[in-house]
Amino acid sequence: MEYILTAESLNKHYKNFKALQDFSIHVPKGAIYGFVGKNGAGKTTLIRLICGLQRPTSGTYRLYGVPNTDAGIAKCRRRMGAVVETPSIYLDMTAEENLKEQFRIIGLPSFDDVPDLLALVGLKNTGKKKAKHFSLGMKQRLGIAVALAGRPDFLILDEPVNGLDPQGIIEMRELILKLNREQGITFLISSHILDELSRLATHYGFIDSGHMIKELSAEELDAACRKCIRVQVSDVRALARVLDGMDISYTILSDTMADIFGKVNISDLALALSEDGCDILSINEREESLESYYVNLIGGGKER
């Protein structure tokens, strides 16, 4: 398999804080790679290293097979685009003016591609409207257009749907899928919104405390996600006590609801709960979500 980005034994330390520890990653060419982890897990640190904004303490990473210690890494980075944290746009300029300015910065000889880029991200009819008057979703799409100015084939997006309304999320999803399928662009997407990420990603990497916990494809994730029973009860604390006594894995979702994993005899469960003064209000079989899988993966399988 051909990889756009790989890393082995990568470390980044800040005084007494270890942001990345023996970190590894493998992003296949053509993938939409979902990069999943809590705040402070090391996601943004990796992105900064890849973009050349910081240097690793030790270890190496490779872009297009070229190690970061090689002089050719700068040329490889020209094949990348990134939208990190907030879009890099000029708020007092129109969408067209923003793109022309980016073309000048990277030394492109003409503005011929500007109209096509605006059309690609759905901003061709914004006219003289300045970016400061754009919706958040429009600003995000303009940021992606700016990142696409140099015709990259690898795009890094840090929380691309954060703060967007439902329509903005749908538009961003459709744009990412379009760029991946029609332009062949590989994506590395860092996101907290796991339900949305599950609609996009072809591959996943789960990071915790600077370590890559697990990498797998979407197909492998589907196979690994366990089926569960979602149960609503009158007293979730009683449910937790009963399930602990049965040594059954579960995840508490609210004051009245939980997901139960593994085989459980419903009659025995109902009887045990009744003896503890707890009633079952509803029960449904469902498959484990990406969010549940992630919580269990990093050791949050039982919550009391």
Domain extent at residue 247: 225-297
As a dihedral over the C-alpha atoms of residue 116, residue 119, residue 125, residue 130, rounded to 10 degrees, the angle is: -80
In a domain, 302, yes or no: no
Same domain, 91 and 182: yes
Percent residues over pLDDT 70 in the chain: 98
Asked if residue 81 has pLDDT above 80, the reply is yes
Q: What pLDDT is recorded for position 264?
A: 86
Reported pTM:
0.79
Same domain, 178 and 281: no
Domain closes at, from 162, 193, 223: 223
Which three-class secondary structure state does DSSP give residue 134? Answer: coil
Q: What pLDDT is recorded for position 300?
A: 55
Asked if residue 281 has pLDDT above 50, the reply is yes
Q: What pLDDT is recorded for position 302?
A: 43
Helix %, strand %, coil % for the chain, to 5? 35, 30, 35
Is 303 or 157 the better-scoring residue by pLDDT? 157
Least confident of 31-45, 105-119, 213-227, 266-280: 213-227
In a domain, 304, yes or no: no
Q: What pLDDT is recorded for position 303?
A: 39
Q: What pLDDT is recorded for position 301?
A: 42
Domain of 236, CATH number, reads 3.30.70.100
Same domain, 166 and 260: no
Domain closes at, from 223, 242, 265: 223
Mean pLDDT, residues 262-272: 89
How many separate domains does the chain show?
A: 2
What is the β-pairing status of strands 250-252 and 227-233? unpaired
Angle, helix 136-147 to helix 166-183, in steps of 10 degrees: 20
Sorting pLDDT into bands at 50, 70 and 90, what band is 32? Answer: very high
292 contacts 194 by C-beta, under 8 angstroms: no
Same domain, 60 and 116: yes
